[in-house]
């Protein structure tokens, strides 16, 4: 017997064999299908078709109008017939159809999110995500509890301190910044959906269907959840989130230096002063008593009238050290420094030129080399790991 192929055997049995080519859809058809999938999802969740009525949820009312319109358009019914397992596209009478009929075409299309006036209005659905867009959104939203969040919690605490002090800053995640071409790497922080997001792990790179390189990420959020998403999905989510931000690295750019780069904006100067006061206590400890402040102007101009200002102990001062600031919040940084040295604050009361007692602030009993070390640790971002010990007059590792 001659060997027959499967198709020939089926033909002998009287079975017609049809080879259906894989169907492709235009972007407009994809959006129509995606819009109908929303209606199907509603049906699966509620066991009924969406209905009209002021008491209904706004989304249900929109789905109801959309369904009415899809029922009226033969091209749409033909396109969606294979998906309509519940018979939703069958023309039906009732209140919902009557309400739909009370709208003219343009008003109804507006309700549907369709731009009227085009060659094929129903194909211009607005506010309906494509399958790819929906998949990316669901991937972002699919977060689970982070069971080892305890080891990440200190990172978020330190980050918040650095943001408050101005050591780090946030930048909009925009396309024209060229960030899409840069890889998201392990250790970076972002703000997404109102939550701080930390890239804890980056998996092995692979080629995506569009030819671009991608990788699977482990992203931990400040609310104790995590997600396992693609790098490109995180980028797309940050672009679409109007409040999405990337958080700068603490060592990016010359935080403190004598010269600024082309893209750096000078913010001011940290200054360290030493008093020339003849007060016995001050004279005795002159090498240890320092005033630390931050100014946006000239330090020399700021201290020009020090002899008449109780803030400067009603005496002249010497400028001992200056550190230039770039791209940083002066006020927040000054508060950070003062808080760091709070236990070493120098408490002294003097009488101003009007005879009133004054307690000047921003003076500290600290060796100059400790101030310099503190500035360097602010510069490299490690300041949150240390504390000042006024007993030994040294900076020590902070206990967690």
User: What token pair was written down for 102?
Assistant: 């009370």
8 Å CB contact between 345 and 390: no
374-386 pLDDT tens trace:
888 887 778 888 8
61-92 pLDDT tens trace:
788 888 888 888 888 888 888 888 888 888 65
203-221 pLDDT tens trace:
888 887 667 788 889 999 9
- What residues are paired with 268 via a beta bridge? 325
Give residue for tokens 């101005």: 166
Please, which residues have CB within 8 angstroms of residue 189's CB and are 6 or more apart in sequence?
159, 168, 196, 197, 198, 199, 246, 247
pLDDT given at position 221: 92
What average pLDDT does this structure show over 159-172? 77
* ∠ Cα 361 332 381 (to 5°): 115
Rounded to the nearest integer, the mean pLDDT of the chain is 76
Residue 184, pLDDT > 60, answer: yes
C-alpha count within 13 angstroms, C-beta hemisphere, residue 74: 0
Please, which residues have CB within 8 angstroms of residue 3's CB and are 6 or more apart in sequence?
none
Q: What is the distance between the alpha carbons of residues 28 and 43, in angstroms, rounded to a whole number?
A: 23
Residue 177, pLDDT > 50, answer: no
Binning pLDDT at 50, 70 and 90, where does residue 282 land? confident
- Min mean pLDDT across 10-24, 183-197, 339-353, 372-386 is at 10-24
> Which strands make up the sheet holding 289-295, listed edge to edge?
317-326, 266-275, 289-295, 363-365
CA of residue 152 relative to chain centroid, distance: 17
pLDDT given at position 219: 93
Long-range contacts of 360-364 (CB under 8 A, 24+ apart): 360/310, 360/311, 360/312, 360/313, 361/311, 362/291, 362/292, 362/293, 362/311, 362/338, 363/275, 363/289, 363/290, 363/291, 363/313, 364/289, 364/290, 364/291, 364/292
What average pLDDT does this structure show over 276-296? 88
Residue 34, pLDDT > 70, answer: yes
Binning pLDDT at 50, 70 and 90, where does residue 257 land? low
91-133 pLDDT tens trace:
654 434 444 444 444 454 454 444 444 444 444 444 455 555 5
Largest Cα–Cα separation, the chain: 124
């Amino acid at each position: 017997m001659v060997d027959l192929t499967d198709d020939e055997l089926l033909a002998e049995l009287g079975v017609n064999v049809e080879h259906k080519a894989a169907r492709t859809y235009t972007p407009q058809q994809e959006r129509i299908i995606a819009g109908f999938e929303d209606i199907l999802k509603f049906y699966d969740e509620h066991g009924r078709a969406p209905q009209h009525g002021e008491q209904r949820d706004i989304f249900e009312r929109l789905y109801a109008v959309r369904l009415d319109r899809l029922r009226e358009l033969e091209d749409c019914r033909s396109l969606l017939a294979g998906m309509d397992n519940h018979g939703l596209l069958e023309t039906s009478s009732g209140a919902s159809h009557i309400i739909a009929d009370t709208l003219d075409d343009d008003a109804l299309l507006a309700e549907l999110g369709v731009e009227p006036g085009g060659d094929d209005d129903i194909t211009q659905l607005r506010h309906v995500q494509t399958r790819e867009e929906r998949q990316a959104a669901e991937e972002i939203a699919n977060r689970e509890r982070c069971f080892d969040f305890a080891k990440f919690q200190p990172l978020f605490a330190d980050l918040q301190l650095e943001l408050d002090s101005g050591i780090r800053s946030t930048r909009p995640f925009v396309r024209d910044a060229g960030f899409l071409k840069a890889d998201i790497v392990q250790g970076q922080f972002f703000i997404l959906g109102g939550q701080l997001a930390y890239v804890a792990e980056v998996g092995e790179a692979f080629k995506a269907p569009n030819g671009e390189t991608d990788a699977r990420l482990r992203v931990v959020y400040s609310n104790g959840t995590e997600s396992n998403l693609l790098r490109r999905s995180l980028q797309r989510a940050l672009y679409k989130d109007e409040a999405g931000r990337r958080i700068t690295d603490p060592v990016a750019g010359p935080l403190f230096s004598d010269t600024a780069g082309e893209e750096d904006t000078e913010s001011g100067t940290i200054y360290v002063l030493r008093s020339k006061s003849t007060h016995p206590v001050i004279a005795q400890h002159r090498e240890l008593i320092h005033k630390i402040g931050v100014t946006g102007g000239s330090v020399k101009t700021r201290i020009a009238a020090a002899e008449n200002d109780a803030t400067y102990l009603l005496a002249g001062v010497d400028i001992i050290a200056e550190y230039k600031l770039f791209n940083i919040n002066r006020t927040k940084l000054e508060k950070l420094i003062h808080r760091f040295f709070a236990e070493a604050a120098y408490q002294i009361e003097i009488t101003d030129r009007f005879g009133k007692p004054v307690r000047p602030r921003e003076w500290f009993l600290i060796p100059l080399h400790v101030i310099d070390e503190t500035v360097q640790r602010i510069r490299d971002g490690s300041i949150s790991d240390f504390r000042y010990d006024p007993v030994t007059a040294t900076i020590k590792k902070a206990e967690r």
